[in-house]
Protein backbone atom coordinates (compact mmCIF):
# COMPACT_ATOMS: atom_id res chain seq x y z
CA UNK A 1 0.00 0.00 0.00
CA UNK A 2 1.24 3.47 -0.83
CA UNK A 3 0.56 5.89 2.02
CA UNK A 4 -0.16 9.52 1.25
CA UNK A 5 0.18 12.05 4.05
CA UNK A 6 -2.73 14.30 4.87
CA UNK A 7 -2.17 18.01 4.41
CA UNK A 8 -1.25 19.85 7.61
CA UNK A 9 -4.69 21.45 8.02
CA UNK A 10 -6.37 18.06 7.54
CA UNK A 11 -4.17 16.44 10.19
CA UNK A 12 -4.82 19.31 12.57
CA UNK A 13 -8.59 18.95 12.04
CA UNK A 14 -8.39 15.24 12.90
CA UNK A 15 -6.24 15.92 15.98
CA UNK A 16 -8.75 18.53 17.15
CA UNK A 17 -11.58 16.03 16.69
CA UNK A 18 -9.67 13.42 18.70
CA UNK A 19 -8.97 15.96 21.46
CA UNK A 20 -12.70 16.75 21.58
CA UNK A 21 -13.52 13.03 21.78
CA UNK A 22 -15.35 13.07 18.43
CA UNK A 23 -15.85 9.68 16.75
CA UNK A 24 -15.48 10.96 13.21
CA UNK A 25 -14.74 13.94 11.04
CA UNK A 26 -15.63 14.85 7.46
CA UNK A 27 -12.91 16.20 5.19
CA UNK A 28 -12.83 17.42 1.60
CA UNK A 29 -9.84 15.67 0.05
CA UNK A 30 -9.16 16.82 -3.48
CA UNK A 31 -12.59 16.71 -5.16
CA UNK A 32 -14.20 14.16 -2.83
CA UNK A 33 -15.68 14.29 0.65
CA UNK A 34 -14.48 11.57 3.01
CA UNK A 35 -15.82 10.52 6.40
CA UNK A 36 -12.93 9.69 8.70
CA UNK A 37 -13.73 7.11 11.41
CA UNK A 38 -11.23 7.94 14.14
CA UNK A 39 -11.89 4.73 16.10
CA UNK A 40 -11.33 2.27 13.24
CA UNK A 41 -8.81 4.54 11.48
CA UNK A 42 -10.61 4.22 8.14
CA UNK A 43 -11.81 6.80 5.68
CA UNK A 44 -14.91 6.29 3.56
CA UNK A 45 -15.64 8.15 0.35
CA UNK A 46 -19.11 9.63 0.88
CA UNK A 47 -20.09 9.18 -2.77
CA UNK A 48 -18.63 5.78 -3.68
CA UNK A 49 -18.49 4.24 -0.16
CA UNK A 50 -14.94 3.07 -0.91
CA UNK A 51 -13.04 2.49 2.34
CA UNK A 52 -9.33 2.60 3.00
CA UNK A 53 -7.18 2.58 6.10
CA UNK A 54 -5.48 5.69 7.41
CA UNK A 55 -2.51 6.13 9.69
CA UNK A 56 -1.96 8.73 12.34
CA UNK A 57 1.21 10.76 12.42
CA UNK A 58 1.24 13.22 15.28
CA UNK A 59 2.82 16.60 14.54
CA UNK A 60 3.97 18.32 17.70
CA UNK A 61 4.94 21.68 16.23
CA UNK A 62 4.48 23.60 12.99
CA UNK A 63 8.16 23.28 12.04
CA UNK A 64 7.70 19.52 11.68
CA UNK A 65 5.59 19.94 8.53
CA UNK A 66 7.21 19.29 5.17
CA UNK A 67 6.06 21.52 2.33
- Domain for residue 64, yes or no? no
**What pTM was estimated for this model as a whole?**
0.78
Question: Are 33 and 26 contacting, i.e. CB atoms less than 8 angstroms apart?
Answer: yes
- Within 1-67, residue ranges assigned H as helices are 8-19
Q: How many domains does the chain have?
A: 1
- Domain for residue 41, yes or no? yes
Select the more confidently predicted residue: 57 or 14. 14
Q: Which domain holds residue 15?
A: 8-58
- Domain for residue 67, yes or no? no
Dump pLDDT digits (tens) for 31-43.
Answer: 999 999 999 999 9
Find, among 48, 39, 32, the residue nearest to 14 by Cα.
39
Rounded CA separation 34/38 (Å): 12
pLDDT averaged over the chain?
87
Dump pLDDT digits (tens) for 42-51.
Answer: 999 999 999 9
Amino acid sequence: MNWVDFKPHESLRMEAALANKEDSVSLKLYDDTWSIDLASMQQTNDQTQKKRPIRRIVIVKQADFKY
